[in-house]
Structure 1
């Protein structure tokens, strides 16, 4: 082991005082770039290796638990650690500080985008960013597939999920729930198909914490619903803020597999269903989320802002956009606190639930198909300026007009893929280089 790397703590250090916990999680929130992998690695270094606030086993145990829940697992892990160290106020502080820095930055970028999206230089900048995002999504697909598809059965589940979404346009939640059901059955009948490890027999477990969980669900659900009740009472069910709140509340319940997995469903509904933004703008939003700290699912705030900004009555566009961003952020992240506070006491029991592990393994495999569908969707809309659906019976395929290929975007995407996948460049550096290339190419070779 190199001299400059501290040994992993075998036992947890004494509990830090609350101000110190706030300082450390504020630092983590400002430095949590790089998506969930980078964020989880950052917290491991800060909290396990350097400070020893939780042990290695506790950290991995909690991470496995967070993978069972919908929503951003890195933020939920932060909430769990804060809750373990300082109870409810510790969990609230850790979870909020993990989100607030990124939320503030992406809100500022969303405001700029809302006013500047029609400018030529801004469009050129984002042509490069969108092309780089395509390479980043493909990298995510390769990374998740390499980790998740370790059996032929899992590869088949991924392929079926892709076909269900790409050819038959089935709803994302239905695909995920179907995979979970298949995994539950397979875990009971043929666990080897999912490469499940034998579950260790449970020893003496603590009493079931029903009262604690029910209280957390009741309080958390009331807090989650409070702004929606206000919107319904003041603006009614036809207002865009109500539509935004309901949609992202549903999304918060089905966001298994991380931001890349749920983006396909969000894009399908936000672009085709509600018409809040275009496919290119959806890619722009992910580019913004990639450049800010915090969970990548923060891209939902960008969508909520633009949806309200463009349909502002009875508010001004900027006020409507701010309300849309705030509501979206609330209904997206409030459930994360609910899940952790309600279900963390059950973590030990969940480790001894083989069918639940089977469901999670199958859902993770299907997520590969979901991300593959997202990759194809992005490629079509980033590389081609004209894409039209073609229907053959129950099958609907999006076909590009080959003459509408934007060679500038294709060139930037190819170089970005080589840098991020082949050369292992930092995502931020690739995005910056791609943005500059977009400006130069659009200036030299205008469309």
Structure 2
């Protein structure tokens, strides 16, 4: 009887939303998306596109890309925010929470389990060798991301120049990423408004005009999509309380010098200022966590990224590992593992709660701006600038994967790390080159590359060659 009533309630909710997609069906599809979401944002977005646009026909190509461009503009992981956005379009706030929450749940569980193993055995034998192989594959995957995003975003000389300027600014001069994003957006906005073709929105074919969301919305926006001040105030109050209250409680109760307060404040700041998706976030987080807070070493940061690459969910789940290790090494009166568990979950909470705020607050306004020429131009140039930032990250990872030592350069306004060429790790170089060949030339699947690199890393380490 209860099951029948639930089905009737789901059907009523679906009819009220204007489509016949039940909440239960959406749950199963979003769970499937979450479980298949390997390989970083490029792979995750591809999975969502294949399932939601091509297979299920729940959303058209044009609306999918409009939502994606908005999510790329936001701080935080664009793939998780895209899932939240589409879930909100389909089933309002409950749908957005379900889609966004399911997207990160498998990663939370997997990263926590791997963090326990790493903290207990990370410097011992097999585990150390496993992560040695992972890092080489991760480097090849990041370089592949640069190429894939670059092919889509750098379609003319203006976009190539913007990407180059962004790379030089962030790699050689440490220009903050928000400044790069704002500058790129302003250039794109006024370039598009002036009618310059270089700044026009990218044309995408293959859309399906009869998709469920598009049939639902049409030209007239339903209540949950139409923006209003009352809705904005409600959303802001709820999600800001969920975000700010735990941070304030830690600061008041434990003081600003406590590691949990530092985790809460640092990752809250990252949630507000780190734009451009996972790769852009990690470049900044890695530098701060390693060089400023000394929570972990550069190679440990790469180990954490290797965990995130091998588990479902967004790459930004590596922040849970960073919070885990920070609290593990400064547990206070708690046991190290218990403190580490709380530190990892705290980092995850303050990282993802703002993601829901940005979507639920901004998505109604973004839906009203579909087709806006200036906004499309700004999003295009921001995407180009992000390519330069991803290139910066790939070089940073490459330096710490392929070289055992680097030295800082600070002169003539420059600030970057220079490799010590004599410290080149030959085994890591060979593994990275093999992984890159498998990805670029042989089109080997990402999971096979990761598995092969792990096996090769173990073999080389136990053979005494690495």
Deviation (angstroms), 1:413: 0.5
Match of residue 449 from structure 2: 430
Deviation (angstroms), 1:24: 2.5
Deviation (angstroms), 1:55: 4.3
Match of residue 172 from structure 2: 167
Q: Are the structure 2 counterparts of residues 197 and 33 from structure 1 closer, same or farther at C-alpha, using a change threshold of 3 Å?
A: closer
Match of residue 413 from structure 1: 432
In structure 2, what is the Cα distance between the partners aligned to 1:28 and 1:352?
28
Q: TM-score, normalising length from structure 2?
A: 0.86
Q: Are the structure 2 counterparts of residues 15 and 85 from structure 1 closer, same or farther at C-alpha, using a change threshold of 3 Å?
A: farther
1:362 is aligned to 2:367 = no
1:192 aligned to which of 194, 197, 221: 197
SS at match of 2:161: helix
**Aligned residues of 2:78 and 2:278 also touching (Cα < 8 A):** no
**Aligned residues of 1:191 and 1:358 also touching (Cα < 8 A):** no
1:224-373 equivalence runs, <5 A: 224-373=243-392
**Aligned residues of 2:192 and 2:200 also touching (Cα < 8 A):** no
Deviation (angstroms), 1:204: 7.9
SS at match of 1:218: helix
RMSD after superposition: 2.3
**Aligned residues of 1:13 and 1:51 also touching (Cα < 8 A):** no
**Aligned residues of 1:76 and 1:336 also touching (Cα < 8 A):** yes
SS at match of 1:389: strand
**Aligned residues of 2:178 and 2:275 also touching (Cα < 8 A):** no
- 1:299-339 residue CA offsets vs partner (Å, 9 max, x unmatched): 11111111111111132211111111111111111122112
Structure 1: state its 5+ residue gaps.
1-11
1:181 aligned to which of 186, 204, 212: 186
Match of residue 107 from structure 1: 112
In structure 1, what is the Cα distance between the partners aligned to 2:237 and 2:184?
29
Structure 2: state its 5+ residue gaps.
1-16, 204-217
SS at match of 1:70: coil
SS at match of 1:391: strand
Q: TM-score, normalising length from structure 1?
A: 0.90
In structure 1, what is the Cα distance between the partners aligned to 2:408 and 2:219?
58
**Aligned residues of 1:151 and 1:194 also touching (Cα < 8 A):** no
In structure 1, what is the Cα distance between the partners aligned to 2:72 and 2:294?
32
Equivalenced residues, count: 432
Deviation (angstroms), 1:241: 1.5
- 1:183-203 residue CA offsets vs partner (Å, 9 max, x unmatched): 3343344633424479xxxx9
